[in-house]
């Protein structure tokens, strides 16, 4: 008689390490390109708008596909979709490294983002399926540390590889490095991870995904291309069409619900002030994170720092985030006041940075940026580490999963929109003949304005204290099947809980 397979795989920690490797790859690729922008501009003769698309295209594709990617994993198998996404990410990384022009680079970056949207949402689901309740906090902590490591390691890795100029390949190794890591991850996932899916899970709603993507492109394309094209009339029309397309998407999703099917985004969410406020804050606040584009380009082209020197100069921000993350969760009871305060702290930090640039000009030293960047990091921790939980505390429990997914997706939309807006302002100043210092200051004043606006928008969130979420009350209601995978593991486990914030 064959002994029953264990409910939880004895290989679960090794499987987690493999999946977190893929998350790390995504985080590195989302950030590494900022340090490489001057090199890309010189080697590929890329325009400023093409540089913006190489950054924003990745984030936009990730945002547009993230919810659909999670649903595909629920329905067809999380390990399967994870491996498909990882394989596609590996191939598109190699193609990005082989790019012979900016258009090919942009296309491969978009495909990279879409691939990441397939693999990253599966990781939290697999944690919830494969780990008992007592082990999940440790696994989630490792997940969170992976984001922190990726946010710090991406620019540093880019700086090291660019300075090393391996085999005379310049910027290309920042993408080639994903190929051996991706192959190793695929082998590890095949051998160590188990398959799981949710019974009766809905499909990916491709029509809804296409409509919402069209709405986002209608906004971002004119923002990026308008300045280069001298703002023809159709760019204005496209931006005005964006809210119309998003309204049509909302009506389409209402029709999906009436037909008894599962919508991509639950239209009922927009009846709750907490969800609407969270979306507005996410777009405005995370739009300001495009300050990294201004600083990394300015430090290299305006002052003459090397890529590695530039990456090292940005570390104080990460230090501030780490320090702020230690106390931000304890302040979550303040609710929207914490979000407003964190936004204002970010505004103060960025103001200190731009005043420092103004004072020291081309003689700026890295240590002079430390105060402003550390203050900004504190502000980021106050908002990024608590926004999703504050929103979830203000919507009914049955809507917590969709609300979390929607806010996380909107964060990525905010990042892409910020790159489009702030990049347009900054590069526009440079191309109009303004000095590098003046151009950086103008771009950073826009960043400060976004954070002040975010503080005001925070008061759209419902008032009142936010009590810690009772995790024990969030019991699974859906049934999950865990199939045999690779070396014959199988079992039954709980479905995925809500996703957490993917830091920009």
Q: Which sequence spans correspond to the domains of the chain?
A: 1-195+479-495, 205-263, 269-469
Neighbouring-strand partners of residue 197:
481
- The model's pLDDT over 426-445, given as tens digits with 9 standing for 90+, comes to 999 998 889 999 999 999 99
Provide the pLDDT for residue 79.
93
The CATH number of 1-195+479-495 is which of 3.40.50.300, 1.10.357.10, 1.20.1250.20, 3.30.200.20?
Answer: 1.20.1250.20
Architecture of the domain defined by 269-469: Up-down Bundle (1.20)
Q: Which residue in 317, 310, 369, 379 sits closest to 344, CA to CA? A: 379
Q: Name the pTM for this structure.
A: 0.85
Provide the pLDDT for residue 467.
65
- The model's pLDDT over 47-81, given as tens digits with 9 standing for 90+, comes to 999 999 999 999 999 988 888 888 898 889 999 99
What is the length of the chain? Answer: 504
Provide the pLDDT for residue 471.
45
Q: Looking at the predicted structure, is the pLDDT value of residue 503 above 80?
A: no
| Interval 31-40 mean pLDDT | 91
CB atoms within 10 A of CB 123: 23
Three-state SS for 484? strand
Residue where the block lists tokens 């690729």: 29
Q: Which residue in 205, 203, 197 sits closest to 74, CA to CA? A: 197
Most confident of 128-137, 394-403, 415-424: 415-424
Q: What is the DSSP letter of 327?
A: T
Q: How confident is the model at residue 263 (pLDDT cuts 50, 70, 90)?
A: confident
| Interval 270-278 mean pLDDT | 86
Yes or no: say if 441 and 344 are a contact pair by the CB < 8 Å rule: no
Strands (E), 302-378: none
Three-state SS for 193? coil
204 Cα distance to chain centroid: 20
Taking the C-alpha atoms of residue 306 and residue 303, their distance in angstroms, rounded to an integer, is 9
| Same-fold call for 1-195+479-495 versus 269-469 | yes
Q: Looking at the predicted structure, is the pLDDT value of residue 497 above 60?
A: no
Q: Looking at the predicted structure, is the pLDDT value of residue 367 above 90?
A: yes
Q: How confident is the model at residue 490 (pLDDT cuts 50, 70, 90)?
A: very low
What are the structure tokens assigned to 487, written together?
A: 């070396």
Q: Which is more confident, 486 or 294?
A: 294
- The model's pLDDT over 158-199, given as tens digits with 9 standing for 90+, comes to 899 999 888 889 999 999 999 999 999 999 999 998 888 877
Q: Which residue in 299, 171, 224 sits closest to 48, CA to CA? A: 224
Provide the pLDDT for residue 5.
54
Q: Which residue in 415, 377, 393 sits closest to 461, CA to CA? A: 393
Contacts of 164 (CB under 8 A, 6+ apart): 173
């Amino acid at each position: 008689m064959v002994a029953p397979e264990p409910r939880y795989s004895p290989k679960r920690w090794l499987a987690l390490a493999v999946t977190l490797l893929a998350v790390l790859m995504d985080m590195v690729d989302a950030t590494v390109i900022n340090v490489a922008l001057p090199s890309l501009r010189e080697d590929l003769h890329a325009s400023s708008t093409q540089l913006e698309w190489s950054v924003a295209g990745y984030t936009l594709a990730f945002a547009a596909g993230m919810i659909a990617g999670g649903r595909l994993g629920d329905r067809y198998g999380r390990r399967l979709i994870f491996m498909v996404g990882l394989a596609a990410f590996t191939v598109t990384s190699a193609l990005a490294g082989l790019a012979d022009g900016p258009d090919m680079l942009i296309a491969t970056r978009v495909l990279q983002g879409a691939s990441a949207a397939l693999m990253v949402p599966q990781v939290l689901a697999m944690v919830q399926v494969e780990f008992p309740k007592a082990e999940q906090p440790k696994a989630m902590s490792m997940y969170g540390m992976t984001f922190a490591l990726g946010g710090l390691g991406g620019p540093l890795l880019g700086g090291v590889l660019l300075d090393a100029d391996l085999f005379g390949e310049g910027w290309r190794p920042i993408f080639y490095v994903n190929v051996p890591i991706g192959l190793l991850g695929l082998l590890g996932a095949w051998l160590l991870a188990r398959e799981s899916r949710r019974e009766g899970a809905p499909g990916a709603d491709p029509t809804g995904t296409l409509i919402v993507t069209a709405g986002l492109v209608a906004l971002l394309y004119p923002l990026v291309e308008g300045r280069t094209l001298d703002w023809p009339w159709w760019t204005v029309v496209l931006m005005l069409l964006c809210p119309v397309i998003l309204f049509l998407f909302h009506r389409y999703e209402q029709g999906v619900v009436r037909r008894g099917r599962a919508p991509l985004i639950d239209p009922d969410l927009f009846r709750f002030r907490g969800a609407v406020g969270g979306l507005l804050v996410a777009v405005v606040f995370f739009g300001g994170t495009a300050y990294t584009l201004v600083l990394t380009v300015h430090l290299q082209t305006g002052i003459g720092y090397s890529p590695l020197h530039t990456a090292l100069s940005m570390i104080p921000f990460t230090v501030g985030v780490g320090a702020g993350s230690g106390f931000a969760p304890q302040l979550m009871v303040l609710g929207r006041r914490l979000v407003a305060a964190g936004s204002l702290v970010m505004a103060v930090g960025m103001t200190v940075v731009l005043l420092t640039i103004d004072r020291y000009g081309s003689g700026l030293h890295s240590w002079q940026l430390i105060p402003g960047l550390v203050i900004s990091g504190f502000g980021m921790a106050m908002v990024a580490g608590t926004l999703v939980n504050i929103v979830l505390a203000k919507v009914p429990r049955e809507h917590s999963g969709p609300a979390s997914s929607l806010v996380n997706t909107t964060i990525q939309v905010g990042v892409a929109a910020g790159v489009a807006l702030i990049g347009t302002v900054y590069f526009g100043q440079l191309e109009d003949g303004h000095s590098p210092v003046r151009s950086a200051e103008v771009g950073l004043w826009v960043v400060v304005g976004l954070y002040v606006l975010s503080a005001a928008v925070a008061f759209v969130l419902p008032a009142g204290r936010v009590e810690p979420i009772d995790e024990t009350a969030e019991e699974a209601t859906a049934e999950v099947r865990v199939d045999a995978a690779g070396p014959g593991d199988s079992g039954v486990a709980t479905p995925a809980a809500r996703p957490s914030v993917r830091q920009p």
